[in-house]
Structure 1
């Protein structure tokens, strides 16, 4: 199965300020703020939904096609993804904008000052999915994740027109998308991914009930955090898969993306939806136990061990031949 992942590509610049922001503010001068903070730490992390999901798929041997827009500063990040099994040949490089960037400073009380620069992400709407299909020789599934909202809707339309199966995964963009765009995005999706909050928000935005959404998509996958995953298909009872065993919770950033990578990889191997959720959960906790969404080591041995510990030896045996 050839999978393309169409979503955001970004880097995170995370800084730590040892003091308190509140101590730097003058109450009667808030309309004239001009502040500079000497920070103690700087972390630069690779991120973006498309890259996080593609990283997991690449580590599992799927060689996903990355679809998104970046700036000329993408070279080092591209090399990283290439080394980890991601096909970056179809990424659009902007001639005028930098790669999207999240810049955040956190003080000792965990208050944050942050900015997000979308940059080249706004050019994702200029990507021609048809050209990518021709170049790659065909796609079996396109995951449409959080990105430029116009690009997300366009990608969904292209998939329907070309008869390509797609997964709708609106994530945080649900909050800013209008109802008609959300309906357009998920209509006809083979899979729809949300967390529990987003599931309710999707109903509110579309004006459709849970059953009406299920009438329009093949399968709904709802992640429930530490409670696991719920899988729903029309006319069938819901399936609940408990979460995988966790040794230490370090950083939740990118955990949902890691789940999606593992889930889609197992589907590509021909495994059942329930087994796919088990693999997704097992990959997700790899990400949960480290700092950063692409800093975890995922090996055949570590995945099989986690599947065995979480779901029993039969789960590990079912996927061992695919690794």
Structure 2
């Protein structure tokens, strides 16, 4: 199964604030916020939603096609992704702009405040998904992730025109999208990914109820943090998959991307949606225990132990049949 992952490619600047954001907010002054948080730790890591998802899929030897725009500083990052099994031939490299920056501060409660600088991502709309489709010999699925909004709309329209199924994943860009744009991204998607907050924001943006959204997409996957994942379809069909519990929580950045990487891997392996979500939850826990979205170490034995402990021996056996000796 040939999967293209479109979206941001970025460098992450990850900081840790030892206190709690909520203790610093004054309710009657929320319209005039002026706050500065003194972080006691900084990590600079490679990231971006499309790159993170592609990296995770590459670890399972799927050779995902990364489609996004990067900057003049991309050479070393690109080589690292290529070595991880990612097809980077469709990445547009800007001649003048730097790769996007994600600056994120996490507090003691794992709440986050982040700012994203687009940089070279502004050129993503110049990428022709039809050319990617031709170059690769045909795509089987296109995930449209957070990116320059015009690029997201163009990729969605092109995929539909080509008859290639779409997985809509607007995530952070929902805040920038208007009603018409959000509807165009969602309508006709085979899969829709959001987290719990984004699901409410998506309903507000589209003006559609949950059932109206489900009437326009194949399956809606909602990640709910420690509460796990819900897989929803029209007619009220819903499957809840619990999270894989861990006591080793380091940084939540990139956890949602890891879930998507695991879920899409499960689809490529032709596993049922529930099994794919279980694989995604297990991979997400691996990222939760490391700093950086692509720094996790993973062996099949460790992954299957998590899956078996959370979902039982049958789940571990079925997923284990598709795993190699090293990941």
Deviations 1:259-303 (A, max 9, x none): 000001001101101111100101000001111111111221121
Partner of 1:228: 228
Matches within 5 A, 1:43-62: 43-62=43-62
Partner of 2:243: 243
**Against the structure 1 CA distance between its residues 251 and 105, is the aligned structure 2 distance closer, same or farther, given a 3 Å change threshold?**
closer
Partner of 2:209: 209
**Against the structure 1 CA distance between its residues 317 and 212, is the aligned structure 2 distance closer, same or farther, given a 3 Å change threshold?**
same
Q: TM-score, normalised by structure 2?
A: 0.87
Tell me if the contact between 2:129 and 2:155 (Cα under 8 Å) persists in the aligned partners. yes
Deviations 1:175-203 (A, max 9, x none): 11101000000110000000111111111
**Against the structure 1 CA distance between its residues 271 and 12, is the aligned structure 2 distance closer, same or farther, given a 3 Å change threshold?**
same
Q: Secondary structure at the match of 1:317?
A: helix
**Against the structure 1 CA distance between its residues 161 and 121, is the aligned structure 2 distance closer, same or farther, given a 3 Å change threshold?**
same
**What is the number of residues matched between the two proteins?**
308
Give the Cα separation in 1 of the matches to 2:45 and 2:269.
Answer: 30
Q: Secondary structure at the match of 2:212?
A: helix
Q: Secondary structure at the match of 1:271?
A: coil
Partner of 2:150: 150
Q: Secondary structure at the match of 2:215?
A: helix
Partner of 2:173: 173
**Against the structure 1 CA distance between its residues 111 and 184, is the aligned structure 2 distance closer, same or farther, given a 3 Å change threshold?**
closer
Q: Secondary structure at the match of 2:52?
A: helix
Range moving further from structure 2, 39-48 or 202-211: 39-48
Deviations 1:139-195 (A, max 9, x none): 000101111111111111111111000100010110111010000001100000001
Give the Cα separation in 1 of the matches to 2:98 and 2:8.
Answer: 13
Deviation at 1:111, TM superposition (A): 12
Deviation at 1:245, TM superposition (A): 2.6
Q: Secondary structure at the match of 1:164?
A: coil
Matches within 5 A, 1:10-21: 10-14=10-14
Deviation at 1:15, TM superposition (A): 5.8
How large is the Cα RMSD of the aligned pairs?
A: 2.7
Which of these two proteins has the greater Rg computed from alpha carbons? 1
**Against the structure 1 CA distance between its residues 75 and 171, is the aligned structure 2 distance closer, same or farther, given a 3 Å change threshold?**
same
Q: Secondary structure at the match of 2:97?
A: coil
Deviations 1:294-319 (A, max 9, x none): 11112211211111111111111101
The answer for unaligned runs of 5 or more in structure 1 is 19-37
**Against the structure 1 CA distance between its residues 245 and 124, is the aligned structure 2 distance closer, same or farther, given a 3 Å change threshold?**
same
Q: Secondary structure at the match of 1:238?
A: strand
Q: Secondary structure at the match of 1:250?
A: coil
**Against the structure 1 CA distance between its residues 239 and 39, is the aligned structure 2 distance closer, same or farther, given a 3 Å change threshold?**
closer
Partner of 2:71: 71
**Against the structure 1 CA distance between its residues 157 and 315, is the aligned structure 2 distance closer, same or farther, given a 3 Å change threshold?**
same
Tell me if the contact between 1:5 and 1:143 (Cα under 8 Å) persists in the aligned partners. yes
The answer for unaligned runs of 5 or more in structure 2 is 19-37
Q: Secondary structure at the match of 1:208?
A: coil
Tell me if the contact between 1:52 and 1:294 (Cα under 8 Å) persists in the aligned partners. yes
Tell me if the contact between 2:43 and 2:291 (Cα under 8 Å) persists in the aligned partners. no
